[in-house]
Structure 1
Amino acid sequence: MKKSYSIKEINSILNGELIGNTTQSIEGPEQLQNANSNHITFIGSTKYAKHWADSKACAAVINDTLKIEPGNNRALIKVKNADLAMAKILELFNPPSPVFDTDIHPTAVVHDTAKIGAGCKIGANCYVGKDVELGNDVILYPNVCVFDETIIGDNTIVWSGTVIRERCIIGNHCIFHTNVSIGADGFGYRPSDDGRGLVKIPQIGNVIIGHYVEIGANSCVDRAKFSSTIIGDGCKIDNLVQVAHNSIMGRSCIMAGHSGLAGSVTLGDGVIIGGSASIKDHTTIHSGATVGAGSGVVGDVAAGKTVLGYPAQDARDMLKQWVALRQFMKKQ
C-alpha cells in the first residue's frame, strides 16, 4: 500500500519549525531538482538553497540557519540538522524487507549440531555448518554460507552471497550487505628456502565483529594469522573495502569505498578513512583522526589529526604545497 502523509504529520515526527503550509499529500522524499509536487526534499546548505525556487517539491526540510521563503502552497520545516531529519523521513517511507514464506527454507542445509535462536529466518540455498550458533531473530537471506563454529548475535541481518568462514564471532544488530567476505585467509606468503617460489603462511586466527556494525557489498575482512582481526562496536564500512589480517578497528570508525587497511593496522575510536585511501601495515591511526580520500598513510597518525595526500601528511601543509605548486606551474 502506498504511503502518504500531510506536512503536519511529518512535522509531528521531526518537531521542527513549520513555515508556510501545503495541502499536497506527501508520497515520498526526493532530491531537490528531481522532486515532483508530491515530494518532500531537504536543503542542508546555502549551496542548494538557490534551487528551491525552481523545485517542484511541495515541502522541504532545511537547516535552521538558512533564510528561505516557502512560496505559495509550499512548506518548510526548519530543523537543527536537515540530514538527520531526512533520515527519519526515509524511515517513514522505507519499503518492507523481502518476505520469507517459511522460517527455514527446505533447500537450506543446516547441520544437526547448529543452534538456531527464536525467530530466525534462513533463506533458500543457505548453508549453516557444524556447531554454528545463531542468536534470536537472525536473518540469513538466500545463498548465505556460515561455516563451522561461527557465532552470530541477535538481530543480525546477512544479505545474499555473503560467506562467513569458520570460528568467527559476530555481534548483535549487525548488517552485512551482499557478497561480503568475513574470515577468508589473510594474505601471508614468504619466499621459499630455495628462492624458487612462495610459501603460504597458515592463517589460524579468526574475525571478531562487535555490535551494530554495518559492512557494505563486496567488502572483505580477513582472518588473523593468529589471534583475531577485530572490528569494534558501531563501525560502518562502505562497499569494496579491504580489512587485512590482524587489523584492529576501534569503536564507531568509518571506512569509505575502495579504502583498505594492510595487515596489523590499528585504528582508534572514531577514525574516518576517506574513499580510496590506503593504510600501510603495522600503522596506528589514533582516535578521532581523519584520512582524506585517496591518501596513502605510511606512518602513525596522531589523535584528532587530519592527513591528506600521498604520502599522507598534515592536511594544512599539503594544501599549502598544492597551492604553491599551482602558482609555480602558472609561472612556467
Structure 2
Amino acid sequence: MTHTVAEIAHALGLEAAGDDSLEIDGVAEPADAGPRQLAMAMKPEYAEKLGQGRARAAMLWDGADWQGMALDAAILAPRPRYALSALSAMMDPGQGYTAGIHPMSSIDETAKLGRNVSVGPFSVIGPGVVIGDDSVIGPQVLVGQDTRIGEGALLHAGAKIGARCTIGARFIGHFNCVVGNDGFSFVTPEASGVEKARESLGDQGEAKGQPWARIASLGGVTIGDEVEVGAAAAIDRGTVRDTRIGNGTKIDNQVQVGHNTVVGEHTLLCGQVGIAGSVTIGDFVVLAGQVGVSDNIRIGDNVICGGSTIVLSSIPAGRVMLGYPAMKMDQHLEVYKALRRLPRMARDVAELRKAVSKPGSND
C-alpha cells in the first residue's frame, strides 16, 4: 500500500510542500519513523522528536517550518488530528477477511445477501435476514432471524446480532460485540425489597425472599447509519418497543446499553459506560469512561459527563457533569477542594476546642 506525498495530500484535501513525489508505505511516530513512513509530528512537542527518527516526510500543523526540521517533504494541515482520520483510513490494511462466501459458513436459503457481500467461516446467517451490498461478515459471526443490515457493514469476528434487529448503512461491529440480546428484566409476585427500598430510601420493612420471574424481550434494536459498536459491548433489545441508537453514534468497548434505552445522534459512549433501562440520551452527548446512568432518566443534548460520573437524575441540555452523584463540574471541583481541606479543618477545630476547654482560658 504505497502512496506518494502528493497523492496523500490530494486525498486529504491538504497542501503538500517539498518533494511530493516521495513514496510513503505507512505512518509512524516521529522517533520511530523510517524514510518511507510519514511521521505524525502533529504538534511542536511531537516534532521535537523527529531527529530521533529517519523520516523524510511528516504531517505537520499549518505554518510549520518543515525545512528547518530537515525534512524533504511535508503535509500541512489546519487540524492535523482531524486529517489523521482520513489518513488512517487510507493506510489501514484491514483484518484480511477474504472475499466471497466461505464454504464453512451457514446461510439460510431465505436470507438475501446484496452484491459483493463476503461471509467468513463458521458464520451463521439466519432465516429472513437481509444484508446490504458490499458488506463484510467476518468469521464466527451470527446474524439472527429477520434482521436487516444496511450496505457497507463490517462485522468483525465473533460479532453477534440477534433476531429482528434493524441496522443502518456502514455499521461497524467489533470483535464479540452483541446487539439484540435480551434485556435484564425480572419481576416478583409482590413488591420486592428493591421497590420498597426505592420508595423509602432506607429500611425496606418486613422483607421476605421472592423468586424472580423473567420478562421476555419482545422488542428489537434499531440502529441508524454510520454507527460503531466496540468489542464486547452489549445493546439489549427492548421489552416491547425497540432500543434505539441514532445515526453516527460511536460506542466503545465493554459498554452496556439497557433495554428500551434511546440514544440520540452523534453521541459518544466511552469504555465501560453502563446505561440502565429506559434511559433517553440526546444528540452530541459524551459519556466518558465508566460513567453509570440510572434507569428512567433523561440526558439532554450536548451534555458531557466526565470519567466515572454516576448519573442518578436527569440532566438538562448543555451541562458538563462530574462526580458521584453527578453535579456541575465546577461545583464538583469546589466540593472536592473543600473535601481535601476537611482533615486540616478538623485539626483546627480540635485545637480550638482544647484552647476553649482549658481552665482560665477566658481570663
Q: Fold-level match, TM-score > 0.5?
A: yes
1:107 aligns with 2:121: no
Q: Is the 8 A contact 1:24 1:37 kept in 2?
A: no
Which SS does the other structure have where 2:235 is aligned? Answer: strand
Worse-superposed segment, 159-168 or 127-136 = 127-136
> 1:206-221, aligned counterparts within 5 Å?
206-221=220-235
Q: Is the 8 A contact 2:29 2:41 kept in 1?
A: no
Counterpart in 1 of 2:91? 93
Q: Is the 8 A contact 1:20 1:70 kept in 2?
A: no
CA displacement at 1:143 relative to structure 2: 1.1
Structure number having the greater helix percentage: 2
1:295 aligns with 2:309: yes
Counterpart in 1 of 2:263? 249
Counterpart in 2 of 1:137? 134
Counterpart in 2 of 1:277? 291
Q: Is the 8 A contact 1:70 1:76 kept in 2?
A: no
- TM-score, normalised by the number of residues in structure 2: 0.82
The change in CA–CA distance for 1:69 and 1:259 in structure 2 (over 3 A counts) is farther
CA displacement at 1:96 relative to structure 2: 4.9
- Counterpart residue identity of residue 10, structure 2: S
Distance in 2 of aligned mates of 1:150 and 1:188: 22
Counterpart in 2 of 1:268? 282
| Residues 68-114 of structure 1: CA deviation (Å, up to 9, x unaligned) | 7642244443211101222232233221552435x322222222222
Figure out how many residues of one structure are paired with residues of the other and give that number: 329
Counterpart in 2 of 1:41? 39
- Counterpart residue identity of residue 261, structure 2: S
- Counterpart residue identity of residue 247, structure 2: D
- Counterpart residue identity of residue 294, structure 1: S
Q: Is the 8 A contact 1:237 1:255 kept in 2?
A: yes
| Residues 282-301 of structure 1: CA deviation (Å, up to 9, x unaligned) | 12111111111111111111
CA displacement at 1:53 relative to structure 2: 4.6
Counterpart in 1 of 2:150? 153
Q: Is the 8 A contact 1:254 1:273 kept in 2?
A: yes
Distance in 2 of aligned mates of 1:110 and 1:124: 11
- 306, 317, 322: which one aligns with 2:331: 317
CA displacement at 1:155 relative to structure 2: 1.8
- 120, 123, 126: which one aligns with 1:123: 120
CA displacement at 1:29 relative to structure 2: 0.7
In structure 1, stretches of 5+ residues that fail to align are none
> 1:197-208, aligned counterparts within 5 Å?
197-208=211-222
Counterpart in 1 of 2:25? 27
Q: Is the 8 A contact 1:22 1:58 kept in 2?
A: no
- Counterpart residue identity of residue 80, structure 2: A
The change in CA–CA distance for 1:150 and 1:16 in structure 2 (over 3 A counts) is closer
Distance in 2 of aligned mates of 1:271 and 1:155: 26
Which SS does the other structure have where 1:106 is aligned? Answer: coil
| Residues 56-75 of structure 1: CA deviation (Å, up to 9, x unaligned) | 43332223276776422444
Distance in 2 of aligned mates of 1:5 and 1:104: 31
1:225 aligns with 2:239: yes
Which SS does the other structure have where 1:321 is aligned? Answer: helix
Counterpart in 2 of 1:170? 167
1:187 aligns with 2:154: no
Distance in 1 of aligned mates of 2:229 and 2:240: 23
The change in CA–CA distance for 1:152 and 1:92 in structure 2 (over 3 A counts) is closer
Q: Is the 8 A contact 1:22 1:73 kept in 2?
A: no
Distance in 1 of aligned mates of 2:320 and 2:338: 20
- Counterpart residue identity of residue 285, structure 1: I
The change in CA–CA distance for 1:68 and 1:276 in structure 2 (over 3 A counts) is farther
Q: Is the 8 A contact 1:145 1:164 kept in 2?
A: yes
Q: Which has the larger radius of gyration?
A: 2
Worse-superposed segment, 41-50 or 161-170 = 41-50
Identity of aligned residues (%): 31
Which SS does the other structure have where 1:319 is aligned? Answer: helix
The change in CA–CA distance for 1:70 and 1:61 in structure 2 (over 3 A counts) is farther
The change in CA–CA distance for 1:52 and 1:301 in structure 2 (over 3 A counts) is farther
CA displacement at 1:24 relative to structure 2: 5.8
Distance in 2 of aligned mates of 1:29 and 1:81: 17
Worse-superposed segment, 43-52 or 106-115 = 43-52
Distance in 2 of aligned mates of 1:215 and 1:316: 32
